[in-house]
Structure 1
Amino acid sequence: MFLEFLYPLVKYFTPLNVFRYLTFRAAYGALTALFISFLFGPRIIEALRTLKVGQAIRDDGPQSHLKKGGTPTMGGVLIILSVIVAVLLWQDLHNFYVWLTLTGFVGFGAVGFIDDYLKVTQKNSKGLPAWAKLVGQFGVAFAIVLTLYYTEDEHITQLYLPFFKNPIVNLGWVWIPFAVLLLVWESNAVNLTDGLDGLAIGLVILVFIALSVLTYLSGRADYAAYLGIPYIQGAGELTIFCLALVGASVGFLWFNAHPAEVFMGDVGSLSLGGVMAVLSLIIKKEILLLIVGGVFLLEAVSVVLQVVSYKLRKKRIFKMAPLHHHFELSGWAETKVVIRFWILGGLFALIAISTLKIQ
């Protein structure tokens, strides 16, 4: 909005030329989202308390979590609100990728909102039936993927691997189910990780810092050519979205740090996981995303392994899945699990960025 209304006035007031610079708008997009989070966070938390939108705690988990029962949930609406305002103010609203990313973000958030709403109104931790939740996620995913597929971008169905400059294969129509599964997987992976105060949102911050670097480089023809990565015209604008999300997440972490005053709920976790996958599809970093969000991958895989092992062998591999609960039940304090997983998340992000030079 600022770009459209203020930049044309540069001929009358030259300092407005700064609105032309992507880095300027990205920095202030982050600050705007952070400011909105700080400003409206206490109000939203108080409103959630008034409405008695409290988290129901599963009774088969660590017993130390039972005292968290009743903590306001659905705090993800604060993240979504902050990002939407920052995007509308600082992004180029004529950019197709901006609207597609925002649609995916809000779409997955809507599925999570319905799930959270049912949890708090029914006073249990079940929410939507698993099949209904998946139907919603697959519906949003198909809409995003088909929209991208029919843009007929030359890169869209090509599969790139870390350490390789050129695509290893053109998936053709097979890219559609592959991309849909990636969106649903990543959305659920963040959801599964959101089990300790500050854990998921701290990892999200690290992932989106890395994605902001990747979107910026992918949107610059000179840097893309130098690094041997696909140049995606217009993708650089998504750097603003990524940093706005970082700002909103930092603001949310202020209230979600141990002991948490609010939980993000499914409205937050599903939207965050879904949108990071949408970004990876646009800039052709689908496989690299699994490294960038390595902790999310480990958490999701731990659940799959636990279920498969119990179904086939009637034995559990971990004391409890997802993985963070295994370490809690092994005697680690909640804050120790969170900080160590953050460290691991930072290492995964650095490794992912380093692959750009090793190809």
Structure 2
Amino acid sequence: MFTYFKNYLKYVNFFLINFKIRSIMTFITSFNITFFLIPIFIKYFYKKKISQVIRENGPITHFVKKKTPTMGGIIILLSIFISVIFWSDLSNKYILYILFITFLYFIIGLIDDFYKIILKNSIGLTAYKKLFLQLITNIFFTLFMFINNKKELYIRFIIPFTHKIIKYNLNIILYIIIYSFIIIIISNSVNLTDGLDGLAIMPVIFVSLGLTCLSYCTGNIYFSTYFNFVYIKNSKELIIICLSIIGSGLAFLWYNTYPAKIFMGDVGSLSLGCMISMIAILIKQEFLFFIMCGIFVIESFSVIIQCIKFRYTKKRFFLMAPLHHHYELKGIPEPCIITRFWIVSLILILLTFMII
């Protein structure tokens, strides 16, 4: 009996040490969980008549989607959490940080989606209530990070195409404000982008792929020196989370691509936006991260520009915001818009590595 137990520990130790095996298995695990659970989820939600609530003032073409199940983000996050917990080193504090704050954003997104389903409107939680919950979550969490990361209380920028570095030490107020802003702006931008079939999930996959490379470089002392990055000892383990997002995202895209059989809902978009933001913050690549997330940022700014323009002039800058709706109303087919946004997202990832 003792021999069997000893052999078992030997195999467990082998898997923990062999990072390549864990990385591959993370991708496979998250992909398979999502791929095989989504059809069950779709059938259950069809049976319970839990479907997407379409905004009344949205494009007319979207009304055919009103019976499409939503909240597929539950399966995405479930597969990510299972694969990360099973294959990652849970003694790594970075892993625990990301899982904890992502779970809090998962709860916020879940409440928002339930409000939409129960009240039968496309608004859910009002913007103020949603931002308030996110702000409270971020204040407490960033305060916790500030207390437990005494050696990492700075923000760092590399000037593009040069080796010049701007490094600024942060006090507690700036630390909370800057990192709360990054998480809130990106999570809500992913949420705004998730308006067409597969539009948000593919850029999330591209960004996660970029973060995989950045996490590897910052976690390797030789690559970090070569690329002029800060060497962060524990950051290599974040590749496990990145690959779980990619695996789960690709499986979800199988069912979310045009015409979508399921949507991820706010529970998915807010959580994924929070997760990729936290990875970028922990590896100290906030500047490059905003370039990679250019599609999300543009979508978000299109809404801000529309609101400001309408408030002061009573006229609209775009036919409809976010930006992808503007192109819909100009008569461009939905698959065409989606594919072009994917292309731009991929170009931004490549541009990021050109800057490096």
Tell me which interval the TM-score lies in, with the shorter structure as reference length. over 0.9
Deviation at 1:131, TM superposition (A): 1.9
Whole-Å Cα distance in 1 between the matches of residues 279 and 245 of structure 2? 12
Q: What secondary structure is seen at the aligned counterpart in 2 of 1:168?
A: strand
**Who is 2:336 aligned against?**
336
1:252 CA displacement: 0.6
**Aligned-residue offset at 1:143:** 2.9
Aligned to 1:288: 288
For residues 7 and 212 of structure 1, what CA distance do their matches in structure 2 show?
33
Displacement after TM superposition at 1:127 (Å) = 0.9
Partner secondary structure for residue 152 of structure 2: coil
The runs of 5 or more residues in structure 1 that have no matched partner are none
CA distance 1:162–1:280, change in 2 (3 Å): farther
Matched letter for residue 101 of structure 2: G
Cα distance in 1 between the residues matched to 2:234 and 2:208: 18
After superposition, give the CA deviation of every residue in 1:22-69 in whole Å (9 maximum; x if it has no partner): 232112101110010111111111122222211110121110001101
Question: After alignment, is 122-131 or 288-297 more displaced?
Answer: 122-131
Give the whole-Å Cα distance in 2 for the aligned partners of 1:108 and 1:336: 31
Given residue 167 of structure 2, which amino acid in structure 1 is its aligned partner? I
Q: Give the 5 Å matches for 1:133-212.
A: 133-163=130-160, 164-173=163-172, 174-212=174-212
Question: How large is the Cα RMSD of the aligned pairs?
Answer: 1.9
Alignment CA distance shift 1:162-1:18 (3 Å): farther
Matched, 1:54 2:51: yes
1:194 Cα deviation from its structure 2 partner: 0.3
Residue identity opposite 1:156 in structure 2 = L
Could you tell me how far 1:321 is from its partner in structure 2? Answer: 0.7
State the alpha-carbon separation in 1 of the partners of residues 158 and 49 from structure 2: 47
Question: Match of 2:310?
Answer: 310
Within 1, Cα distance between the matches of 2:28 and 2:290? 28
Tell me the residue number matched to 1:81: 78
- Return the TM-score normalized by structure 2: 0.93
Residue 312 and residue 100 in structure 1: after superposition, are their counterparts in 2 closer, same or farther (change >3 A)?
same
One-letter code aligned to 1:333:
P
Cα shift readout 1:283-322 (whole Å, capped 9, x = no counterpart): 1111211101110011001111111111122221111110
Say whether the 8 Å CA contact 2:232–2:283 is kept in structure 1. yes
CA contact 1:165–1:228 (8 Å) conserved in 2: no
* Aligned twin of 1:113: 110
In 1, distance between residues paired with 2:50 and 2:124?
13
Say whether the 8 Å CA contact 2:34–2:248 is kept in structure 1.
yes
The answer as to whether partners of 1:156 and 1:282 remain within 8 angstroms in 2 is no
TM-score under structure 1 length normalisation: 0.93
Shift of 1:162: 4.8
Summarize deviations over 1:196-215 as a string: whole Å, max 9, x none. 00000111111111111111
Per-residue deviation, 1:232: 1.4
Unaligned runs of 5+ residues in structure 2 are none
The corresponding residue for 1:213 is 213
Say whether the 8 Å CA contact 1:7–1:19 is kept in structure 2: no
How far apart, in 2, do the equivalents of 1:319 and 1:129 lie?
Answer: 23
Shift of 1:7: 9.7
Structure 1 position 151, deviation (Å): 2.1
Question: Following the alignment from structure 1 to structure 2, what is the Cα–Cα distance between the partners of residues 112 and 254?
Answer: 22
Residue 246 of structure 1 aligns with which residue? Answer: 246
Q: Hey, what does 1:273 align to over in structure 2?
A: 273
Shift of 1:178: 1.2
2:67 aligned to which of 67, 70, 76: 70
- Any residues of structure 2 matched to 1:124-139 within 5 Å, and which? 124-139=121-136
CA distance in 1, matches of 2:6, 2:339: 42
How many residue pairs are counted as aligned between the two chains? 349
1:48-93 residue CA offsets vs partner (Å, 9 max, x unmatched): 2222211110121110001101211111001001001100111001
CA contact (8 A) 2:294 2:348 kept: yes
Decide whether aligned partners of structure 1 residues 32 and 56 sit closer, same or farther in structure 2, where only a CA change above 3 A counts: same
The amino acid that maps onto 1:114 is: I
CA–CA distance in 2 between the matches of 1:7 and 1:214?
36
Does the 8 Å contact 1:108/1:274 carry over to 2? yes
Q: 2:100 aligns with which of 91, 100, 103?
A: 103
CA distance in 2, matches of 1:153, 1:167: 19
User: 1: CA distance between counterparts of 2:225 and 2:40?
Assistant: 47
User: What is the identity, as a one-letter code, of the residue corresponding to 2:55?
Assistant: R
